[in-house]
Amino acid sequence: MLYTAIVPAMTANGTDAAPGGSTPAVVAALDGASVRRYTTGQVILDDITWTVRFGEHWALLGANGAGKTTVLRLIGALMHPTTGTVEVLGHRLGRVDMRELRARIGLVSSAQKVPQDATAHTVVLTGHSGTVQPLWRTYDSEVRDRAHALLAELEIKDLADRAYGVCSGGQRARILVARALMADPSLLLLDEPFNALDLPSREDLIDAMHGLAVTRSGLATITVTHHLEELSPAIGHVLLLKEGRVLTSGGAEQVLTADWMTACFGRPIEVSRHEGRWLARSGRR
């Protein structure tokens, strides 16, 4: 199969641009995308249609087994849909070199394999080469300086020489965000980045994500989480998944309501907001 080379249109400041520059460019678009397990015929995702634009920050919510991680795998160019189409950064899956496309997508997951004895700076460097182990010959002084700058941006520059394995959960999460940013991605995917974090570490990561949204206006993010408390004030859009289908999507204020959350999770849920942060709790049946 022949693949197209990835050559994006660019704006003056280096971000991907929409044709004509009049409207926000689409970073990812799913049109009727479905995923079925070949061996059993089980439907994992069913007819997902969803569009994410540059500069938008989305939360992807749903109960366990709703299909959230599978959606991220499609957008992250890690798998193809069974039916329907998926376009990422202007390229349709099946018509592009997936490895080359993945190089322009940042992924943060607590399940990522990282050498425990590698320093934080080394872990960030591997984001440049997209490898688990460092490829030292590919890291010139400019690349090394960029890794230090990203650690500083995430407010963990003091961890540069500390082994990843002895860092706290919150520190590791921010190291992985810095690693994902090494390739200067247009899209950042976060798959349950707050998993197992204590409250201070969670708040540090939320602050870091909010800071990125403020300083990187062209960056689009999609965050998978189970808890509204983990959403930064920058999250402006929400997609609710239920049993592999889109329940609803749109602006956070329109989606994060008691009615929609109750419908999504199957039990009464009360939703409130304070100073830009969301809170959900189960009401009485």
Instruction: Give domain limits for the chain.
Output: 26-104+185-282, 115-183
CA distance 155 to 151: 6
pLDDT of residue 38: 77
Mean pLDDT score, 223-251: 95
Query: Mean per-residue pLDDT for 169-186?
Result: 93
Q: What is the pLDDT of residue 261?
A: 96
Per-residue pLDDT, 11: 35
Whether pLDDT at 9 is above 70: no
Task: Mention the CATH class of domain 26-104+185-282.
Answer: alpha beta
- For the chain, give the percent of residues with pLDDT over 90: 72
Average pLDDT over all residues of the chain:
88
Contact in structure between 276 and 227 (CB atoms under 8 Å): no
Q: How confident is the model at residue 3 (pLDDT cuts 50, 70, 90)?
A: very low
Q: What is the DSSP string of 203-219?
A: HHHHHHHHHHHHH-TT-
Helix H segments across the chain?
68-75, 98-102, 120-129, 141-153, 169-181, 199-215, 252-255, 258-265
Q: pLDDT per residue over 238-275, tens digit each?
A: 999 999 999 999 999 999 999 999 999 999 999 999 98
Confirm if 69 and 226 have CB atoms less than 8 A apart. no
Res 15: pLDDT? 39
Q: Which of 21-30, 181-190, 266-275 has the lowest mean pLDDT?
A: 21-30
Helix runs in 40-168, H state only: 68-75, 98-102, 120-129, 141-153
The lowest-confidence range among 19-33, 79-93, 261-275 is 19-33
Residue 14 pLDDT > 70:
no
